[in-house]
Amino acid sequence: MKFSLFHIFKDLRRRDHKPAFGGLEILKYIGPGLLVTVGFIDPGNWASNLAAGADYGYQLLWMVTLSTIMLIVLQHNVAHLGIATGLCLSEAATMHMPRWLSRSVLSSAIVASVSTSLAELLGGAIALHMLFGIPIKIGAVITLITILILLFSNSYRKLEKWIIGFVSLIGLSFIYELTLADISWSQALVGWVKPSFPEGSMVVIMSVLGAVVMPHNLFLHSEIIQSRQWNLTDESIKRKQLRFEFLDTLFSMIVGWAINSAMILMAAATFFKHGIVVDELQQAKNMLAPLLGNNAAVIFAVALLMAGVASTITSAMAGGSIFAGFFGEPFDMKDNHSRLGVLISLIPAVLVIFLISDPFKGLIYSQMLLSIQLPITIFTQIYLTSSRKVMGEYSNSSLLKIYLLLIGGVVTFLNIRLLMSIL
């Protein structure tokens, strides 16, 4: 099937498309939760965790704990939607919400996908600069072209396991390095459980939140779940899959919490302790030096490049899923709605990169923007999963609804504090 921009726009209004439910086939051997875990090791996470640990030591570890707890509940809840209804979050919003409201929600989610893609493409560009001296803007274009080729040719299937394996290994390396670094565990224990708002820290706090609880991952998780098209009529199968999904999510989120925490701890021990100001992502290589020695810079750059590629692909898929949801369709790379959604997620992100003068701040602020959109996605999800019309007997219990509303309230409160700090 030949691909061109002309064909995409020509077929947008076509209504005879039959979804193949195979658009996410590359992920069929990967637990949906593990996919989210890999997202914990993306360039945006590295930048947010580096800034948190380098600027504030152990004081912002609590946000990793809080964000992970919220993410476990939210990811499990959105997976319920996919298993119980066979719909992803964007499809369900289009089907069960007023048109003007669903359009507004999904449009904001696409903006979040663009912001995510910006961080991932920027990470890939920084990696190319570290490896080959390629200017950031040119590196972003090269990364974009690479991603489009991998997605539209479906050749990513040949690389994804290697990429995920290598990136995960680097993430676990941060955890191992805790045994080599001089960590103040007493301060860390306090930092994990005691909320703290150091002066000027709200942007970094919200970037950590946005880097962990990423709106596009909620859409993507539900898409992966529904793309499997389990038997939706057999209640025993539904319950079995719900149990499997919960264990998958719980395990993956705990691993993600450990990796994020390790990054902040290493940044605190490497930079904050010695009063070193961090103003570029490249400095993160110093955190790997105790384990990797002189090879740290090259290995970090390769890991950053792979993380950028892997996470850009998932962000683009999320953008495609959200845009396809406008038309009540699942993600399918053979369909032009999904293809255009991918382009909408990626191309504006590259254009914004051309306007950014400070790549490191660009990474931080891109993650912060995710936290601003987050309440919209959360309350949309709560509405859908609490509706017996949508979920039937699998609608949220009263207790779960309270938990979800509390999460939405906390995220909204943090956004208000961010606004107050800016004003």
| Cβ–Cβ under 8 Å, residues 264 and 60 | yes
Where are the strands (E) in 303-421, listed by range?
none
Q: How many CB atoms lie within 10 A of CB 362?
A: 21
* pLDDT exceeds cutoff 50 at 1: no
Residue 383 pLDDT level (bands cut at 50, 70, 90): very high
Closest by CA position to 147, among listed 357, 333, 335, 389: 333
Fold of 21-422: Amino acid/polyamine transporter I (1.20.1740)
Closest by CA position to 307, among listed 112, 170, 138: 170
**What is the distance between the alpha carbons of residues 35 and 37, in angstroms, rounded to a whole number?**
5
Alpha-carbon 401 to chain mean position? 24
**What is the distance between the alpha carbons of residues 239 and 280, in angstroms, rounded to a whole number?**
47
**What is the distance between the alpha carbons of residues 19 and 9, in angstroms, rounded to a whole number?**
18
* Residue 157 pLDDT: 65
Mean pLDDT computed over 301-318: 87
∠ CA 373-30-34, nearest 5°, is 45
Query: Distances from the Cα of 260 to the Cαs of 174, 265, 285, in angstroms?
Result: 9, 9, 16
pLDDT higher at 280 or 250:
280
**Helix, strand, coil fractions of the chain, as percent rounded to 5:** 80, 0, 20
Structure tokens at 22: 């195979």
* Phi, psi torsion values for 242, nearest 5 degrees: -65, -40
Residue 5 pLDDT level (bands cut at 50, 70, 90): low
* Residue 402 pLDDT: 97
Domain borders along the chain are 21-422
Q: How many helices (H) and strands (E) does the chain have?
A: 18, 0
Mean pLDDT computed over 158-181: 74
Contact residues for 130 (Cβ-Cβ < 8 A; gap 6+): 282, 297, 300, 301, 304
* Phi, psi torsion values for 154, nearest 5 degrees: 60, 20
* Residue 233 pLDDT: 56
* pLDDT exceeds cutoff 70 at 160: no
3-state secondary structure of 304: helix
Mean pLDDT computed over 283-292: 81
* pLDDT exceeds cutoff 90 at 377: yes
Structure tokens at 102: 């669903």
* pLDDT exceeds cutoff 50 at 301: yes
Quote the DSSP letter at residue 396: P
Closest by CA position to 117, among listed 49, 27, 217: 217
pLDDT digits (tens, 9 = 90+) for 170-188: 777 778 888 888 899 999 9
* pLDDT exceeds cutoff 70 at 79: yes
Residue 23 pLDDT level (bands cut at 50, 70, 90): very low
pLDDT digits (tens, 9 = 90+) for 92-135: 999 999 999 999 999 999 999 999 999 999 999 999 999 999 99
What single string gives the DSSP state of each residue in 313-336? Answer: HHHHHHHHHHHHHTTT----TTSH
Mean of all residue pLDDT scores within the chain: 85
